[in-house]
């Protein structure tokens, strides 16, 4: 039986605001527990929430970038549930008149563009965090409410994703879009971007299955993909045995590499949503809407196009460099300092992408745009060869020192002195008489071997153009 997965995502993204969504407390990660709290976010009786305009504007901007239909009038609702990190016993969210509906996100897989439907985009508040001490025998848990009330954007996709590759592309595209909108810093390791998966299996062409498994507790994109693989295998086995997987919510156990049932799935009615009486409705009039559209930052495809048209980058480079906004910013900052886009792109695509990943952002690197710009500038003016640059680069990465400093200290300056190189040239020709004969017999390629030998002797410091020239001249002269 050939089955295909039916996958959707619920994504929570903490918005990049200075303060929380309904009070003036600081929105910051990593502060001492319970230091950014007040009666409003602690859920004391009698307090009144006030909507953070910036949070609303970032949510609106993201909804527009996701091509959503924007509700002219949006309202907030209480989603009722009890949890130790939710002191009010309800979460302020949007249920009846959400900010955006019926949008889409474009993803690209194997050169094909697909649109994944966005069911809705809405604004809500984050809950606090329960901390379970890992000390053996600890019989208590702690609650940190710094996160309670941090603005949270929930983006709910349609179950339009049909493969693991598409799921991966969706996660990357959405993250990139949130970064381009400057809506979130998207640091998964700090919880500011959280993916939840829902998945079921069906025969291609069949209607949507009447069950689905939601998977929570996915701390990285890698975990999401592992959980996906696991569920595809598990559900396929059940269906092949003639059994139907249960509709449930499961937790991903990364260490064990499996999902565990958390609860059978509740519906919206279980949360007893009702309108939040303490917040006013928000009307987005046409002038506001127009302003929001005009202020939409340059998005990935626009930037990609600009890199090709204005900076003359190949399409392939432009696509990779614009996949994440921090990387595109990094690249542009370096190009502003030294105008050789293609060379800078080459360095980023080879040396930098090797160290960058889900955990390491361009901003975390010791090599800043001025470092890279200087390195490329030194190669361009012939101060060092590309080979030497490759030797210098790891040290820059390690120490954050400027390349000229390292070159000077290690005496790696390029040899451009003709007389010094002439001796080396004579030496390699004498040591490789057969190669010299080949070259004179018209085998141009033989020259490359001699260049290699000479480079070795000079520890890569010979100026390659000069070396080539001298070799040719000497060989022809003999």
Q: Summarize as ranges the residues that interact with Zn ion (CB under 5 A).
A: 23, 25, 38, 40-41
- We find the least distance from the C-beta atom of residue 47 to Zn ion, in angstroms, to be 9
- Measuring CA to CA, which residue among 130, 121, 228, 227 is closest to residue 184? 121
Displacement of CA 289 from its chain's centroid (Å): 28
- Neighbour-count burial of 101, counting CB atoms closer than 10 A to its CB (0-12 exposed, 13-18 middle, 19+ buried): middle
Distance CA 208, CA 151 (A): 33
- We find the least distance from the C-beta atom of residue 25 to Zn ion, in angstroms, to be 3
Helix (H, G, I), strand (E, B) or coil at 296: coil
Nearest residue (CB) to Zn ion, 62 versus 93: 93
- We find the least distance from the C-beta atom of residue 20 to Zn ion, in angstroms, to be 5
Nearest residue (CB) to Zn ion, 25 versus 383: 25
Q: Which residues contact 184 (CB under 8 A, 6 or more apart)?
A: 13, 14, 15, 16, 153, 178, 192, 193
- We find the least distance from the C-beta atom of residue 146 to Zn ion, in angstroms, to be 9
| 8 Å CB contact between 172 and 195 | no
- We find the least distance from the C-beta atom of residue 134 to Zn ion, in angstroms, to be 29
Distance CA 388, CA 374 (A): 14
Distance CA 208, CA 248 (A): 16
Nearest residue (CB) to Zn ion, 38 versus 238: 38
- We find the least distance from the C-beta atom of residue 45 to Zn ion, in angstroms, to be 15
- Neighbour-count burial of 202, counting CB atoms closer than 10 A to its CB (0-12 exposed, 13-18 middle, 19+ buried): middle
Nearest residue (CB) to Zn ion, 38 versus 333: 38
Nearest residue (CB) to Zn ion, 22 versus 330: 22
Distance CA 192, CA 365 (A): 20
Q: What angle do CA 342, 345, 346 make, to 5 degrees?
A: 85
Nearest residue (CB) to Zn ion, 41 versus 63: 41
Nearest residue (CB) to Zn ion, 28 versus 413: 28
- We find the least distance from the C-beta atom of residue 235 to Zn ion, in angstroms, to be 42
């Amino acid at each position: 039986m050939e089955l295909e997965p039916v996958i959707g995502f619920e994504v929570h993204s903490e918005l990049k605001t200075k303060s929380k969504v309904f009070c003036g407390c600081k929105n910051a990660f990593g502060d001492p527990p319970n230091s950014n709290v007040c009666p409003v976010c602690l859920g004391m009786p009698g307090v009144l929430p006030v909507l953070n305009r910036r949070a609303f504007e970032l949510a609106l901007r993201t909804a527009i970038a996701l091509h959503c239909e924007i509700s002219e009038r949006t309202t907030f609702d209480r989603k009722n549930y009890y949890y130790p990190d939710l002191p009010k016993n309800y979460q302020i969210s949007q249920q009846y008149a959400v900010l955006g509906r019926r949008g889409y996100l474009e993803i690209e897989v194997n050169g094909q563009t697909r649109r994944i439907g966005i069911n809705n985009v809405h604004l809500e508040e984050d809950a606090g965090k329960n901390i379970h001490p890992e000390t053996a025998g600890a019989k208590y848990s702690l609650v940190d409410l710094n996160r309670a009330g941090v603005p949270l954007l929930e983006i709910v996709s349609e179950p339009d994703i049909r493969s693991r590759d598409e799921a991966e592309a969706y996660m990357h595209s959405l993250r990139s879009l949130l970064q381009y909108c400057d809506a979130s810093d998207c640091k998964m390791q700090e919880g500011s971007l959280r993916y939840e998966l829902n998945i079921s299996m069906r025969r291609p062409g069949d209607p949507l299955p009447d069950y689905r498994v939601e998977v929570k507790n996915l701390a990285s994109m890698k975990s999401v993909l592992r959980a996906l693989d696991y569920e595809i295998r598990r559900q396929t086995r059940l269906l092949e045995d003639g059994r139907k997987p249960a509709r449930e919510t499961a937790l991903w156990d990364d260490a064990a590499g499996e999902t565990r049932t958390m609860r059978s799935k509740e519906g919206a009615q279980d949360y007893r949503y009702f309108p939040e009486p303490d917040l006013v409705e928000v009307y987005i009039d046409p002038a506001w809407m127009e302003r929001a559209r005009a202020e939409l930052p340059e998005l990935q495809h626009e930037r990609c196009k600009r890199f090709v048209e204005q900076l003359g980058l190949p399409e392939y480079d432009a696509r990779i460099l614009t996949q994440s906004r921090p990387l595109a910013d990094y690249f542009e900052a370096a190009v502003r300092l030294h105008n050789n886009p293609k060379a800078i792109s080459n360095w980023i695509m080879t040396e930098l992408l090797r160290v960058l990943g889900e955990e390491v952002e361009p901003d975390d690197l010791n090599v800043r745009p001025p470092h890279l710009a200087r390195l490329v500038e030194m190669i361009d003016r012939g101060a060092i060869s590309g080979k030497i640059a490759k030797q210098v680069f790891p040290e820059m990465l390690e120490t954050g020192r400027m390349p000229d400093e390292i070159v000077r200290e290690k005496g790696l300056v390029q040899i451009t002195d003709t007389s010094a190189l002439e001796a080396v040239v004579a030496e390699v020709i004498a040591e490789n008489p057969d190669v010299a004969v080949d070259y004179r017999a018209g085998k141009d390629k033989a020259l490359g071997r001699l260049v290699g030998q000479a480079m070795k002797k000079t520890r890569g410091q010979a100026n390659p153009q000069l070396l080539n020239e001298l070799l040719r001249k000497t060989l022809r002269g003999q």
